Amino acid sequence: MGFREIPGQERAKALLQQALRSGRIAHAYLFAGPEGSGRQDTAIAFAQAVLCERGGDDACGECLSCRKVSHGNHPDLHVIEPDGASVKIEQIRELQRELSYRTAGAGYKVYIIKSAESMTVQAANSLLKFLEEPPSPVVAILIAPGAQAVLPTILSRSQLVPFVPGDRERMEALLTAEGKPRMLARAAVHLASGPAAARALTEENWFAEIRNVVIQLGKENSSRFPGSLLTAQQQVIKTNLSEHVDTLLNLFALWYRDMIYAMTGRHDRMVFADQAEFIAKHAWSRTIEAWAGAMESALAAARRIKAHVPPQLALEQFLVNVREG
């Protein structure tokens, strides 16, 4: 994942690549911007470039260090994610211990804190001392939805790197230029949190299968309920797709949104553009409010799976809720 593979975010990339070129890399960066804008991909790209054995303003992607970053096992790159709902002080202390050891190579150590806004006050205060007196050379990358989402004391010690909302059309164009099927790319950029995740989705066989199942269930549920329950059993629950019911539901929400797009004349925005003929005909069978309600049901069911409701139960209840017949 080099900077060259990240679409858009020109300002953020320019700022980071200028630092790499000049060798004046700050102790701490705050990557501030919305979900899906490529903050995590950019954090990995920056870390990879900082750690790259060949130097320069982008990672070479080939040296041992670059390959270790790609495989997620570089000893000098530490990634912290919330443990449950928050990043906790124990995690920051553990990080500080890890960083106090000598580097594997001669260069930098890099750490990334995802959802930095979720740090507990204790964690943030513990990190603060560390940002002030880092055991050099260390680079911190904090990821948050906005500059105001972290404590002012942390903000003032970090260089702000602003991210604008992700440009889905550009991401889709990038993926199709790489030879990914357009319909899969279009669905993936709506579901993934950034270009790397979208690319990975388009390369999964199950993702193409899930997309087909959504189309089938969407059509069946409109006319042949409870046949759709049987389809869900046979093609999802009893197959390897059962691990991806949350993705199926999120995609289903986009199916219903396409109905609204059809009714409001925004056909160019459809995710299931290859089904435009069916959608255009079928959309008028319900009101916009009904489709919006179905969309919300799909998203609510996906959230229930995250909250550990069994996927089969969540999917079946969803299909019952949104049946049209």
Binding site for Zn ion (CB under 5 A): 52, 60, 63, 66
Residue 60 vs 309, nearer CB to Zn ion:
60
Q: Which is nearer to Zn ion, 66 or 171 (CB)?
A: 66
How far apart are CB 46 and Zn ion at their closest, in Å? 13
Helix (H) or strand (E) holding 32: strand 28-32
For Zn ion, the closer of residues 60 and 164 by Cβ is: 60
Q: How far is the CB of 49 from Zn ion (least distance, A)?
A: 8
Task: Quickly count: other Cβ atoms within 10 Å of residue 135's Cβ.
Answer: 13
Per-position DSSP letters for 170-237, written without gaps between them: HHHHHHHHTT--HHHHHHHHHHSSSHHHHHHHHT-HHHHHHHHHHHHHHHHHHHSTTHHHHHHIIIII
Of the two residues 52 and 116, which places its CB atom closer to Zn ion in the complex? 52
- Provide, rounded to whole angstroms, the least separation between the CB of residue 65 and Zn ion: 5
As measured in angstroms, the least distance from the Cβ of 64 to Zn ion is 8
Looking up tokens 């790197």 gives: 161
Give whole-number Cα distances, 99 to 102, 134, 228, in Å.
8, 9, 54
Nearer to Zn ion, 63 or 164 (CB): 63
What is the CA 134 to chain-centroid distance, rounded? 29
Residue 16: CB minimum distance to Zn ion, A:
16
Nearest to 301, CA basis, from 312, 290, 287, 315: 315
- Closest contact distance (angstroms) between CB of 50 and Zn ion is 10
209: left (phi over 0), alpha (psi -120 to 50) or beta: alpha
In the block, which residue shows the tokens 């870390």? Answer: 47
- Least distance in angstroms from the C-beta of 45 to Zn ion: 12
Question: CB-side exposure of 297: number of CA atoms within 13 Å?
Answer: 19
Cβ-based nearer residue to Zn ion, 59 or 192:
59
Burial of residue 24 (CB within 10 Å: 0-12, 13-18, 19+) is exposed
Nearer CB in complex with Zn ion: 75/227: 75
